[in-house]
């Protein structure tokens, strides 16, 4: 079930239903729409799904012949399903899938849907030894991330389950990474995504997958912050550690802007035969190693959770690489995966400011509804278009009036750290029918209220 | 939404949809249909839901003003949602509901549905501090319990959420206890249910709730096994400890009959102000104490999970009773709750055997479908009606032929430990259109295949 | 090293050194002085040690060829060593010993001493794969148990390590159970001890050991409280559950008398080959089952800890009994062990009250030092001998004056629930040189201050 | 009790007693002999102790007015004491000390000694609310680190407890860091130590302490490996991540040289009032952050354990810095502490090779005993001095013969990666009486066998 997202159409079509929280009218998207990681591993199948009008999404990792799984939960705000069972140290392969989802706790519906989906499809049943079992975790992608409250649900998850692919992992702002952000500790408000990487040593395969919605900032192997709406006060500082030092010196809490809730959820998969105890050591070592690539990591505003999974396909105790080396390799693979999560779409650069006659601005004034709790009010004052957001601050949009600078008759931006952009759709008479915040990959669609 | 279950009607109406696993056609039942526990506590609201054609169901405990919750997982096969968050020791009240459900892992959909239901209703939202949060656990009620594979789902859970009641807890085979069993270790195959009890000391309230689907047998304060399809070989033995001793002496594993997967899930709620550490002590003490009332308890075939919750309404450190005494009182209240779970419906006693002419038996021969994986084959042989079950053994129904003894022209039973009964619905011509195993509270409905 | 305790001699000899906390002068006792459990199991060696002038002691369980061990900690006040390592699920046998000790946290020295003892003896070394490894737990046996503060130490532990026996477990008030008590929740102040039991099924052996220093009371399979200084107000009540119900009805906290800190520490050993996951299930099931035999159990004033150990000697997956049956058998064996812990020494019955001329009482007046923090003051008032305890209440001895009733010229008791007894040693001139509280198995020796 | 280590004297005096494992004759050293960190914090007192002839040592952190503590254990080989109690979430201050020690599991005696020491000194007692309580962890510093098997014991720990200092933390190869090493994964065999760092924000103090005995290598904020006996094959590679990549590419396990058992044990202390839940978040975040400064970290050959402690002295919920910022500051402080652990003693550079007449070499031939399990055999062959080690490989000393190159008549080295040095003490007749491996801070003393 691959449905190409027709975004312009969606804008008009769906904002109403979103406002009504009637998820049944949302358009399911399970297509790949961005870069991918490719690898050869038939036992591991991956599906994604998104509601583009959130946007929000989910990712399903299906183990064709089931797998042994363990979990390492380290964050201060985890949202998880079926982790207790994974802690009991059973060596048998009984896990069908790991599911990552947006939508905060509401997105946990996507995890249970993977189980019922397998049952409804007849792949699993009610027989004790044939229960479909999925575990998973979620990220928070509402306030600060977007203005509506759509969440990945059963329908979306089962569509993704019906469109699995082996050997292909969609990178960046796809699947569960569709609306992720990172760097909130530094006020980055940078869009993020899901990353993946794969290595093979002889017969031994290891893959790392991650959805980064971290309070911390993605950091490369030179210690540099990879992507951020930089604070002009930072000057030449580019090392994450320097920026951490600066923050500490000011002894300040993280900026109020940016998502106030975060989480990095991740998965390591290997085909190497491993006992649950060895798998747990792998989980702990890899999860800990991620503190190099995301700084700070595992804060109390992150619900960081890592699953480690073995398909138990190859290897004996003496197989090379040793488990010691494999654990280290997995940690480096995870760093690769984290770096691969960063969306490569360029930040939109702004065209020069345009001049728009006040009389043309008048048609844009009005109230625009973006979700059940967010409304933009737009009006003309002193020849300028002004904007005010009722609801939580969103990038530069505040409960206090801000000036909109025109770059065309229907396109505007806010002069500030994030250059938040606003575009209007107008009818033939020049009256706005809707508004889009930050047009592009992470656009938010609002419908003008009568 | 209270829909009286019209069982005879359901029999014909729904077995088809059940066989198709099309849960959307199942009839939602949120009505009380049995004994209840009553108590005065506005902050605690309870809802139940069942699909009678399973039968299977769920129970929602809603904390009107949120509550602080902890969890103690002790079983070898737990199915849980959001427990990791409860382990972090946060004192704030952020839990909206605890949900118990049948349907094994598939029933976890009922837990996530409580969260999305609160959001869809506008009671909770996507705002970070207003996320609807539920935790919960499930019981296994398929093989050995019933022949179909219906599970409590989102639709059923949200119906229960919309029909909450304060001060009333439905006992026995209702809600999540709708299709529970107990005593499998002893081959009891006794129907079980959900229990509740309440005590108040001054302003301090404590309530205990439990869904018993245990491998062990419910035991009273005199050490006697409360309910069982007894093994004739037991003679005069009635103490559970004597029967345990007998089983050990034979050094045998539990009988093959009876559910092979079990779980007791429970909840203690108090209005007393308690820190998470104190609440955890309460959880551990009460959970451990349950080994008196269910023997054996917390085996590796049980996924025993207990939640302890405080609504944080009353009490100071010096309030009486002391926390020490409160913990003990809660444990005794839980024993009361366990005893209150035992269904008081009398086991059907059999009428005397009837004589049915072989020519009338012919119309009953055929195949009857009970679910996706269970089919009964009925035929006449040597003047007797014979039965064979394709699928897992169910009470006395086996893959090998068993004789059906008539008690009327359409009612039969198997001469064995469980006296499994079978009733046929016939058309005007005396041809069977369907069959019911164990007519009554835990009936299973099968449709004759063409 | 077997040194018979010469109690009368010790009385005079050691109270001084005890008062000085100079443990080096204490007499080491590793002899058996009471009933024993016998069984055939060369791989399991047991040693005990006690300082009779505490009294306090320790018990070492040595696994001749090392063993696999797991732990289940459930109490609110545990004192443990090396448990983190046991939680990692390693299947290899690397545990040399489990050590139980009196002396609260100070007694943990006995656990580390087992490791250094093995090294000093050359059985273990500094080589990575040959590190001596012991785990263990302690009980609180100071205030409420005795008046001095002697603790089991390295010297005592290593003496016990050098006097190991296979197939013999000393029961009741020996080893780590030397100064244990139980029933404090009910004000029992009953002396307790260590218990053991053993069962064998074919080649499969299972042994249960326990040191009971519980807040709860030992309860038999008929639900009756086994041993207690009963409260006269209880009337005919003998079932523990009835006495719990009575306590709750009064909504009172446990009586102030009796030990304020408690713990039951236990060990299950089997020779059956088991994975760490299976061993953990055994631990959880047995530990939970103990709530039947000790009521209440695992309160926040108990540091309950159970170790489960496999010597990995016999058995395959299909060996009978099944692990399910073995777990249940172990739980019943533990109940046997708990019952075997109860000291069978009769409570001293009091001889009739004697008449002692006041002039003979005068020689007994004075101050008696029992430990660094406890002094008895004795004086004559209105022709009666009076007593006052500086320090924490001890049975009937209070900071307020109590009357001593004579049963001979040098023997007295307090008329109260516990019938606390006091005996004086006098010189030829009739002047007391020392005093003994509760002469007998749990005597406390005090020296008269000049 | 400050005893200056007289190393030359010790060489002759103590190697015999060490060989006999008679620790009572070892010289206690509690003096500071190296760089220190200074800070102002009366509530935190620190003591160190070492047996220089190991060398091995311990460090005690004493909280003058007790403190609240939590623990985060993440390694695959932890050795810990009293951690279970710290996991229960009790907010009260009841921890007297955290103790770190060398000596592997045998060194746990140092942790229990802190408790008994406080009791013996009368600072703590047997009273329930006054029990001395210490927790702690150990590092492995035998094989690969040194040739003898001396361990920190009760006598050493109590000497350190009697020589506490406020505001001074000895850095590098002192205390528990006396014989630590790091970088074994890369074959570094680099001596390591203990590090500390301190920051203050307004009234809020935070200190980080660490003993690094890691399999991984200490890494600075530029990603460079700080100290290592470099492998000549590495060429220009200096970034730890590059060396990790190289190791993975070769898919090799860590080199056989270097310690085969490792651990980083650490402590964060703050005076900020924090709940146990907040303290646990601090522990997790800081522990995870250490993966930046030690790479790889938390492998299954590390027993990494971090304690987080609050003295609960200052701060309200609104105090700046926020807990979020404080956690990040603590993590950066820990990185500082790790860097401060690296001994600044220069690696000994070798003088030019000397020429020694074979007849003078003859007097050096013989067998030298270094501990219970290590003996060096030295002989002359083809005019060169040869050496063979019975026991585990130690730097360049192997069971196979290696050539000793002279730099003087009594000083030699092995031409290899580690330039292992050997110096002989000779009598007037030119006959060796003893030998020292790697003279200097980490010297090992051996006595010639007759």
Which of D288, D291, D300 lies closest to A281 in CB terms? D300
CB pairs under 8 A between A and D: 146
User: Are A106 and B112 an interchain contact pair (Cβ–Cβ within 8 Å)?
Assistant: yes
D185, D288, D335 member nearest A288 (Cβ) = D288
Question: Which of A292, A310, A340 represents a domain boundary (last residue)?
Answer: A340
Do C172 and C117 lie in one domain? The reply is yes
pLDDT tens for C162-211 read 999 999 999 999 999 999 999 999 999 999 999 999 999 999 999 999 99
Per-residue tokens: C263:
């713990």
For residues C91 and C172, membership in a common domain is answered with yes
Helix (H) or strand (E) holding D381: strand D374-381
Name which of A78, A88, A154 is nearest B76 (Cβ-Cβ).
A88
Q: Which of A7-11, B257-261, C20-24, C127-131 has the highest mean pLDDT?
A: C127-131
Contact flag B125-A149 (C-beta cutoff 8 Å)? yes
CA B189/CA B258 separation, integer angstroms: 5
| Residue B263 designated active-site | yes
For residue C314, what is the domain's CATH number? 3.60.70.12
Reported in sequence order, the residue ranges of B296-431 that DSSP labels E, i.e. its strands, are 305-314, 366-371, 374-381, 384-390, 402-406, 411-413, 421-426
How far is it between the farthest Cα atoms of chain B? 79
Give contacts of A105 with chain B, Cβ < 8 Å. Answer: 82, 112, 115, 131-134
Q: Smallest CA–CA separation between B404 and chain C, in Å? A: 34
Average pLDDT over residues D384-396: 93
Asked if residue B126 belongs to a domain, the reply is yes
3-state secondary structure C276-302: HHHHHHHHHHHHHHHHHCEECCCCCCE
Tell me whether C275 touches chain A (CB under 8 Å): yes
pLDDT digits (tens, 9 = 90+) for D115-152: 999 999 999 999 999 999 999 999 999 999 999 999 99
Share of chain D above pLDDT 90, in %: 85
What's the CA gap between A362 and D7, in Å, rounded? Answer: 89
Ranges of beta strands (E only) in C190-330 are 190-191, 194-201, 204-213, 217-218, 263-272, 294-295, 305-314
Does A333 share its domain with A424?
no
Instruction: Judge whether residue B10 has pLDDT over 80.
Output: no
> Is residue D410 predicted with pLDDT exceeding 60?
yes
pLDDT at C254: 54
Task: Find the helix packing angle between D276-289 and D323-340, rounded to 10°.
Answer: 40
Whether residue C206 contacts residue B255, with contact meaning beta carbons closer than 8 Å, is answered with: no
Burial of D190 (0-12, 13-18, 19+ CB in 10 A): buried
CA D398 to chain centre: 24
For residues B59 and B163, is the Cβ–Cβ distance under 8 A? no
> What are the residue ranges in chain C where pLDDT is below 70?
1-21, 251-260, 346-348
User: Which residue did the predictor score with more confidence, A289 or D350?
Assistant: A289
Contact status of B255 with chain C (Cβ, < 8 Å): no
pLDDT in tens, A354-406: 999 988 999 999 999 998 889 999 999 999 999 999 988 899 999 999 999 99
Residue numbers in B near A106 (CB within 8 A): 112, 115-116, 119, 126, 131-132
Q: Is residue A222 located within the same domain as residue A367?
A: no
Q: What's the gap in Å between the CA of A138 and the closest CA on chain D?
A: 20
φ and ψ at residue B361, rounded to 5 degrees = -75, -30
User: Do D171 and D243 fall into the same domain?
Assistant: yes
| Domain membership of residue C393 as a residue range | 358-448
Nearest to C274 by CA among C213, C333, C205, C227: C205
Phi/psi region, residue A189 (left: phi>0; alpha: psi -120 to 50; beta: rest), is left
The alpha carbon of residue A85 is apart from the nearest alpha carbon of chain C, in Å, by 12
- Same-domain status, B319 and B364: no
Residue D395 has a pLDDT of: 93
Rounded to a whole number of angstroms, the distance from the CA of C355 to the nearest CA of chain D is 38
Q: Residue B223: which of C74, C222, C247 has the nearest Cβ?
A: C222
Helices (H), C206-322: 240-249, 276-289
Pairing of strands D294-295, C134-138: unpaired
Burial class (CB in 10 A: 0-12, 13-18, 19+), A128: middle
Chain C neighbors of B285, CB-CB under 8 A? 296-300
Specify whether the CB–CB gap between D75 and D213 falls below 8 A.
Answer: no
Among B409, B94, B44, B4, residue whose Cα is nearest residue B200: B44
- For residue D448, give the 3-state DSSP assignment: strand
State the Cα–Cα distance between residues D402 and D414, nearest whole angstrom. 7
Span A280-288, mean pLDDT? 98
**Are residues D365 and D294 part of one domain?**
no
Helix A109-120 × helix B109-120 angle, to 10°: 130
Q: Does any domain span residue B353?
A: no
The whole-chain average pLDDT of chain A stands at: 91
- What span, in angstroms and rounded, lies between the C-alpha atoms of B277 and C77? 12
Which chains are adjacent to chain C, needing at least 3 Cβ pairs under 8 Å? A, B, D
Nearest CA in chain B to D277: B89
| C329 inside domain | yes
pLDDT tier, D253 (very low <50, low <70, confident <90, very high otherwise) = low
Whether residues D331 and D420 fall in one domain: no
Residue of chain A whose Cα is closest to the Cα of B89: A76
Residue B249: its H or E element = helix B240-249
CB contact under 8 A, C106 and D112: yes
Say what percent of chain A tops pLDDT 70.
92
> Residue D369: is its pLDDT beyond 80?
yes
CA distance C39 to chain D (A): 31
At A15, the pLDDT band (50, 70, 90 cuts) reads: very low
Residues B370 and B227 in one domain: no
Residue A277 with chain C: CB contacts under 8 Å: 88-91, 276
Sort out which chain D residues have CB atoms less than 8 A from C86's CB and list them.
Answer: none
Of chain B residues 69-98, which have a CB less than 8 A from chain A?
73, 76-85, 88
Whole-number pLDDT of residue D19: 34
Structure confidence at residue D258 as a pLDDT band (50, 70, 90): very low
Q: What is the pLDDT of residue B372?
A: 87
Q: Would you call B251 and C320 a contact, using CB atoms and an 8 Å cutoff?
A: yes
Q: What pLDDT band is residue B215 in, cutting at 50, 70 and 90?
A: very high
> In terms of DSSP H, where are the helices of A38-165?
83-86, 109-120, 154-161
Q: Is the Cβ of A35 closer than 8 Å to some Cβ of chain C?
A: no
Question: Within 10 A of D6 (CB to CB), how many other CB atoms are there?
Answer: 12
Say yes or no: C133 contacts chain D, CB-CB below 8 A. yes
Distance to chain B for C321, nearest Cα, Å: 5
Do D275 and B89 count as a contact with CB atoms less than 8 A apart? yes
Residue contact B142–A119, C-beta within 8 A: no
Neighbours of chain B (3+ CB pairs under 8 A): A, C, D
For testing contact with chain B, the best of A20, A101, A112, A147 (most B CBs within 10 A):
A112
Size of interface B-C (CB pairs under 8 A): 146
Q: Are strands C432-437 and D402-406 parallel, antiparallel or unpaired?
A: unpaired
Same domain, D278 and D365: no
Above 90 in pLDDT, residue D46?
yes
Q: What is the pLDDT of residues A22-67, one digit of tens each?
A: 899 999 999 999 999 999 999 999 999 999 999 999 999 999 999 9
Question: Mean of the pLDDT values across residues D64-72?
Answer: 98
What is the band of D320 on the pLDDT scale with cuts at 50, 70, 90? confident
Taking only residues 194 to 213 of chain A, the set having a beta carbon closer than 8 angstroms to any beta carbon of chain D reads 199, 201-202
Which of B340, B366, B389 is the last residue before a domain boundary? B340
Domain identity same for D103 and D246: yes
Q: Residue C23 carries which DSSP code?
A: G
Q: Does a structural domain hold residue C352? A: no
Buried b / exposed e along B94-103 (16+ C-beta atoms within 10 A): bbbbbbbbbb
Can you give the pLDDT at residue B267? Answer: 98
Q: How far is B318 from chain C (nearest CA, A)?
A: 11
**Model pLDDT, residue C16:** 32
**Residue of A238, A217, A343 lying closest to A291 (CA atoms):** A217
Q: Is D247 or B151 the better-scoring residue by pLDDT?
A: B151
Query: B392 and B268: one domain?
Result: no
Cβ within 8 Å, pair C149-D132? no
Calpha distance C173→C211 (Å, rounded): 9
Q: Are D213 and D104 in contact (CB under 8 A)?
A: no
Give the residue numbers of A marked as catalytic: 263
CATH number of the domain at A380, please: 2.40.128.50
Q: Do A83 and B84 touch (CB under 8 A)?
A: yes
Give the separation between CA B321 and CA B204, rounded to whole angstroms.
8
The DSSP string of C114-146 is HHHHHHHTTSS-SSGGG---EEEEE---STTT-
HSE (side-chain half, CA atoms, 13 Å) at B312:
16
B277 touches chain D (CB under 8 A): yes
SS3 call for D234: helix
Partner-chain residue, chosen from B104, B111, B128, that has the shortest CB–CB distance to A131: B104
Query: Is D2 inside any structural domain?
Result: no
Is B327–C300 a contact, with Cβ atoms under 8 angstroms apart?
yes
- The answer to whether position C211 is within a domain reads yes
Among B80, B83, B263, B436, which one carries the catalytic annotation? B263
Q: Does D17 touch chain C (CB under 8 A)?
A: no
Residue C320 to residue B252, Cβ atoms within 8 A: yes
Of A296, A311, A340, which residue constitutes the final position of a domain? A340
Give the pLDDT confidence of D205-234 residue by residue, as tens digits.
999 999 999 999 999 999 999 999 999 999
- The burial class, CB within 10 Å (0-12 / 13-18 / 19+), for A277 is buried
Please tell me the distance in Å from B225's CA to the nearest CA on chain A.
Answer: 27
Q: Does B359 touch chain C (CB under 8 A)?
A: no
Q: Which residues of D are catalytic?
A: 263
Residue B346, pLDDT score: 64
pLDDT band at A254 (very low <50, low <70, confident <90, very high): low
Q: What digits encode the pLDDT tens for the residues D97-114? A: 999 999 999 999 999 999
Q: pLDDT > 90: what percent of chain A?
A: 85
> Would you tell me which residues 280-339 of chain D have a C-beta closer than 8 angstroms to some C-beta of chain B?
280-281
Beta bridge partners of D339: none
Query: Which residues, at least 6 apart from D84, have a Cβ–Cβ distance to it below 8 Å?
Result: C73, C78, C80, C83, C305
Encoded tokens for C350: 């009091």
Query: How far is C-alpha D26 from the geometric centre of its chain's CA atoms?
Result: 19
CA distances from B446 to B57, B373, B425, B435, B439 (A): 20, 12, 10, 5, 11
Judge contact between C208 and C339, C-beta under 8 A.
no
Report the b/e string of B42-71 with b at 16+ CB within 10 A.
ebbbbbbbbbbbbbbbbbbbbbeebbbbbb
Is A260 in the B-facing interface, judged by CB distances under 8 Å?
Answer: yes
Q: What's the token pair of residue B431? A: 């041809």
Residue A351's pLDDT band, with cuts at 50, 70 and 90, is confident
Q: Is residue B218 within 8 angstroms of chain C, CB to CB? A: no
**pLDDT higher than threshold 70 for residue B83:** yes
Q: What is the mean pLDDT of residues B166-193?
A: 96
Question: B115: how many CB neighbours lie within 10 A of its CB?
Answer: 31
A350 is a domain residue: no
Q: Tell me the average pLDDT of chain D.
A: 92
**pLDDT at residue C320, rounded to an integer:** 85
- The distance of D301 to chain C (nearest Cα, Å) reads 11
What residues contact A349, with CB distance under 8 A and at least 6 apart?
none
Which H or E run contains A439?
A: none
User: How far, rounded to the nearest angstrom, does the alpha carbon of residue C383 sit from its chain's CA centroid?
Assistant: 39
Residue A2 lies in a domain: no
Number of domains chain D is built from: 2
Instruction: Please answer whether residues C194 and C321 qualify as being in contact, where contact means their C-beta atoms are separated by less than 8 angstroms.
Output: no
Shortest CA distance from D186: residue in chain A: A325
**Is the minimum CB–CB distance between B233 and chain A shorter than 8 Å?**
no
d(CA A270, CA D262): 26
């Amino acid at each position: 079930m691959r449905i190409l997202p027709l975004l312009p159409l969606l804008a008009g079509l769906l904002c109403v239903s979103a406002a009504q929280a009637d998820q049944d009218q949302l358009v399911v998207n399970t297509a790949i729409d961005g870069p991918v990681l490719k690898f050869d591993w038939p036992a591991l199948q991956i599906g994604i799904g998104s509601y583009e009008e959130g946007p929000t999404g989910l990712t399903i990792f299906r183990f064709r012949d089931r797998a042994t799984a363990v979990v390492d939960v380290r964050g201060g705000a985890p949202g998880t399903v079926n982790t207790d069972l994974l802690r009991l140290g059973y060596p048998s392969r009984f896990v069908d899938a790991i599911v990552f989802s947006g939508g905060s706790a509401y997105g946990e519906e996507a995890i249970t849907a993977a189980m019922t989906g397998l049952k409804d499809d007849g792949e699993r049943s009610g027989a004790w030894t044939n229960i479909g079992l999925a575990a998973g975790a979620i990220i928070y992608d509402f306030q600060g991330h977007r203005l509506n409250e759509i969440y990945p649900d059963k329908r979306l998850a089962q569509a993704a389950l019906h469109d699995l692919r082996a050997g292909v992992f969609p990178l960046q702002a796809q699947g569960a990474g569709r609306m992720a952000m990172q760097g909130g500790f530094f006020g980055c408000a940078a869009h993020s995504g899901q990353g993946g990487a794969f290595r093979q040593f002889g017969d031994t395969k290891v893959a790392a997958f991650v959805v980064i919605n971290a309070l911390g900032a993605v950091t490369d192997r030179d210690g540099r912050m990879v992507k951020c709406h930089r604070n002009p006060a930072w000057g030449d500082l580019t090392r994450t550690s320097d920026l951490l030092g600066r923050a500490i010196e000011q002894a300040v809490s993280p900026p109020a802007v940016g998502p106030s809730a975060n989480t990095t959820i991740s998965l390591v998969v290997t085909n190497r035969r491993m006992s649950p105890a060895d798998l747990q050591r792998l989980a702990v070592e890899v999860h800990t190693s991620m503190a190099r690539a995301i700084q700070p990591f595992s804060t109390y505003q992150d619900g960081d959770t890592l699953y480690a999974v073995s398909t138990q396909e190859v290897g004996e105790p003496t197989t090379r690489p040793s488990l010691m080396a494999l654990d280290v390799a997995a940690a480096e693979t995870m760093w690769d995966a984290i770096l691969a999560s960063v969306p490569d779409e360029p930040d939109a650069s702004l065209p020069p400011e345009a001049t728009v006659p006040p009389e043309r601005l008048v048609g844009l004034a009005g109230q625009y509804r973006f979700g059940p709790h967010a409304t933009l009010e737009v009006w003309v004052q002193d020849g300028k278009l002004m904007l005010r957001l009722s609801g939580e601050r969103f990038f530069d949009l505040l409960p206090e009036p801000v000036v909109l600078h025109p770059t065309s008759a229907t396109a505007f931006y806010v002069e500030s750290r994030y250059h938040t952009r606003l575009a209007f759709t107008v009818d033939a008479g020049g009256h706005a029918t809707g508004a889009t915040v930050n047009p592009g990959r992470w656009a938010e669609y609002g419908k003008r209220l009568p």
